[in-house]
Amino acid sequence: MRRTSPENPAMGNRKDRGFVLITMGMTVIALVGVLGIAVDVGRMFITKNETQAFCDSAALAAALALDGTTVGISAAQTALANSTNSWNLDTTAVASPTLVFATAIGGPWVANPNPATGYIYAKVSTSVPMKLYLMPILVPKTTQDVIATATAGQINITSFPEGLSPYTAVSTNTTGPNFGLTVGEEYDIQWPQYNGGGNCDPTDQSKIKNCFGGKGVCHGDGLNFATMQAVVYNWGSSNSGYWGATSNSVIEQEIVNLNAQTTPIAVGDNIMPVLTNGQKQSQSGYLDERVNQDIELTQNTLGTPTTSGTYLGLPHNGRRLLPVPIVDPTDPTHTTVLGFGQFLLYSSGANSDWYKTKTNGNDAFCAVYAGPYQIGSISPGAGGSTGATRVKLVQ
């Protein structure tokens, strides 16, 4: 039976004195813990998301800059340095993030690969010391490192629902990413009119060039007997490789905006049914319109980012680079899509009218093969089996 004070029953047992103090002390410790979770752990979650956004953004920007050369590696490092996302409720810059590269998602990861051939993955990691405000009352820590990592890579694209220009390049070589095309060489993106008379002989390498009217084929295709034979035997006078619209306004959207593609184009597709004759004069004007949206209009040599006096070596914005499917006319009813590539359009200088003035009627439309197409980049990508890539987060 519980004992009570003889003088005052409400006083309780003398041994209970101080119990409330102890209880309150324990409760306050628990409350500080809960408040610490609300404040410090809550901030940890925000910091984690902020640093993750930094890593995601930086990894994508770095992977976008990769081009298979050490110049691309430097550009990726610059992209990381230019990342502006911050943390600590958007008040503090992320200090000392690390950037490494790999040829495969599983690594090995290298900080400065040289040569950089095949490096298509970029991984950004960071660790920020987040200051703790209440948790130090309970645990012997004043900061908590919050870690974030993101990996982005150039991922092969096998299908384009939109975003291609309505031209083709021809090859009988099925091996990507270049399909036998030589970077820096010019090729037909639209073939000249077929002319079977005169000295045309598709079986003779020295005479097959005579099967094409106008000024003949572009230099790179003129070196490739198999390509010319494929066109002569399977396209003849029926097709030129153009597969766009015949309406002028749509052609302009297709060439300048790349957003009027009505037919999805995928590797392995037979695009023979969509090949048309087009409106050559209109097309040439829109090609010039796209060219004039670039800021580099003086150079027709592709070059490299480190070669001065070339397109890639001078400030440019990529508008002269045109993505097209690369196809193989295998028979008169099948033109198979092998992959994709991008081509540098020619310029005659400021207010360029190259295609208007140099492609008379049924002449070939020539452009310089620039390499694999990377969506969103102003330069060729590092390449892939399909010749087209998009940068994506992979981890």
Instruction: Give me the residues that bind another protein (CB under 8 A), please.
Output: 5, 7-8, 10-11, 20, 24, 27-28, 31-32, 34-35, 38-39, 42-43, 45-46, 49-50, 53, 56-57, 60-61, 64, 79, 83-86, 89-90, 163, 252-253, 256-259, 293, 295, 315, 317-319, 375-378, 390-391
Cβ closest to another protein, residue 39 vs residue 138 = 39
C-alpha dihedral sign at 322, 325, 329, 332: negative
Inter-CA distances, 323 with 162, 175, 354, Å:
11, 18, 19
Please, what is the minimum distance in Å from the beta carbon of residue 178 to another protein?
22
Please, what is the minimum distance in Å from the beta carbon of residue 157 to another protein?
13
Residue of 323, 280, 368, 345 lying closest to 162 (CA atoms): 323
Please, what is the minimum distance in Å from the beta carbon of residue 386 to another protein?
18
Inter-CA distances, 313 with 113, 303, 309, 316, Å:
21, 7, 6, 8
Q: Which DSSP state fits 314?
A: S
In the structure encoding, which two tokens stand for residue 109, read together? 């990861």
Cβ closest to another protein, residue 150 vs residue 338 = 150
Structure-token match 């095949």, residue found:
118
Contacts of residue 292, defined as CB under 8 A and 6 or more positions apart, other chains included, come to 351, 352
Please, what is the minimum distance in Å from the beta carbon of residue 295 to another protein?
6
Please, what is the minimum distance in Å from the beta carbon of residue 59 to another protein?
10
Please, what is the minimum distance in Å from the beta carbon of residue 112 to another protein?
21
Q: In whole angstroms, give the CA distance from residue 258 to residue 321.
A: 12
Cβ closest to another protein, residue 160 vs residue 235 = 160
Cβ closest to another protein, residue 17 vs residue 207 = 17
Cβ closest to another protein, residue 317 vs residue 333 = 317
Cβ closest to another protein, residue 35 vs residue 394 = 35
Inter-CA distances, 50 with 99, 123, 149, 183, Å:
18, 17, 12, 41
Q: In whole angstroms, give the CA distance from residue 125 to residue 147.
A: 7
